[in-house]
Homo-oligomer: A and B are copies of this chain.
Amino acid sequence: MSLLSKNAGFRRVVIDHVSPQVDGGRNPFKRVLGDWITFKAHAFADSHDLLIVELRLRLHGESEWQIIPMRELGNDEFEATFETREIGLYEYEIAGVIDHYGSWYEGFKKKHAEGLPIDLECRIGAELLEHIANRAPKKEAERFREWAAHLGDSNANIDTRVSLAYSRHVAGMARAYPQREWETCSARSLMLVERELAAFSSWYEYFPRSCADDGVTHGTFKDAAKRLPEVQRMGFNIVYFPPINPIGREFRKGKNNTLTPSPEDVGSPWAIGAKEGGHKSILPELGTLEDFQWFLSEAGNHGAEVALDIAFQCAPDHPWVKEHPQWFRWRPDGTVQYAENPPKKYQDILPINFESDDWENLWEELKSVFEYWIGVGVKVFRVDNPHTKSMEFWRWCILNIKAKHPEVLFLAEAFTRPKRKYFLAKGGFTHGYTYFTWRNTATELQQYVEELTTGEAKDYFWPNFWPNTPDILHEDLQTGNRATYIGRYLLAATLSSNIGIYGPSYELLDHVPYPGKEENNNSEKYQLKAWNWDEPGNIKNEIARINWIRNSHSAFQRTFNVQFIPCSNTHIIAYLKQNFDHTDRFIVVVNMDWEHKQVGTLELPMEELKLASDGQLRLRDLFSDDQKEYTWQGPTAYLELSPNANQAHILEIIG
Contacts and interface: CB of A to CB of B under 8 A. Distances in A.
A143 B378 CA distance: 55
Interface stretch (A199-207, A391-399, A489-497): A391-399
Interface stretch (A416-424, A469-477, A587-595): A416-424
Contact of A4 (B7, B391, B396): B396
Interface string A16-60: 100000011110000000000000001011111000000000001
A481 interface: no
A182 interface: yes
Interface stretch (A158-166, A302-310, A354-362): A354-362
Given A3-B26, A6-B363, A387-B46, A355 B12 contact: yes
A300 B392 CA distance: 58
Contact of A420 (B44, B60, B363): B44
Interface in A380-406: 387-393, 395-396, 399-400, 403
Given A44-B417, A44-B419, A420-B76, A333 B4 contact: no
B76 A44 contact: no
A23 B396 CA distance: 25
Given A60-B4, A75-B419, A359 B400 contact: no
A4 B45 contact: no
Nearest to A100: B355
A222 interface: no
A45 B391 contact: yes
Q: How many copies does the complex hold?
A: 2
Given A399-B4, A417-B44, A391 B14 contact: yes
Contact of A48 (B6, B48, B342): B342
A344 to B, nearest CB: 12
Contacts of A182: 355
Nearest to A385: B46
B8 A392 contact: yes
B152 A7 contact: no
A7 B44 contact: no
A331 interface: yes
Contact of A120 (B3, B91, B331, B388): B331
A3 B188 contact: yes
A9 B390 contact: yes
B120 A359 contact: no
A175 interface: no
A638 to B, nearest CB: 36
Which of A12, A26, A75: most chain B Cβ within 10 A?
A: A12
A127 interface: yes
B26 A24 contact: no
Contacts of A420: 44, 46, 76
Chain B CB within 10 A, most for which of A16, A47, A331: A47
A6 B366 CA distance: 14
Interface residues of A, number: 63
Given A76-B417, A419-B75, A120 B333 contact: yes
Contacts of A360: 6
A34 B132 CA distance: 55
Interface in A307-355: 331-333, 342, 354-355
B16 A355 contact: no
Contacts of A423: 14, 16, 44
A267 B44 CA distance: 33
A599 interface: no
Given A46-B390, A123-B333, A391-B45, A190 B6 contact: no
A571 interface: no
Residue picked from A3, A6, A355, most chain B C-beta under 10 Å:
A3
Contact of A354 (B10, B75, B388, B418): B10
Contact of A359 (B10, B14, B91): B10
A11 interface: yes
B390 A12 contact: yes
Contacts of A5: 396
Nearest to A121: B331
Interface in A105-149: 120, 123-124, 126-127
B388 A47 contact: yes
Contacts of A47: 388
A392 to B, nearest CB: 5
A391 B190 contact: no
A4 B403 contact: yes
B120 A332 contact: yes
A400 B127 contact: no
A318 B354 CA distance: 66
A5 B332 CA distance: 35
B4 A389 contact: no
Nearest to A189: B3
Nearest to A127: B332
Nearest to A423: B14
Contacts of A26: 3
Contacts of A7: 392, 395-396
Contacts of A399: 3-4
Nearest to A419: B76
A322 to B, nearest CB: 22
A90 to B, nearest CB: 11
A47 B24 CA distance: 26
A7 to B, nearest CB: 5
Closest 5 CB pairs of A and B: A123-B332, A9-B390, A76-B419, A9-B359, A10-B355
10 contacts: A3-B60, A3-B91, A3-B188, A4-B396, A7-B396, A8-B392, A9-B393, A44-B420, A76-B419, A76-B420
Interface of A: 3-12, 14, 16, 23-26, 42, 44-48, 60, 75-76, 91, 120, 123-124, 126-127, 152, 182, 188, 190, 331-333, 342, 354-356, 359-360, 362-363, 387-393, 395-396, 399-400, 403, 417-420, 423
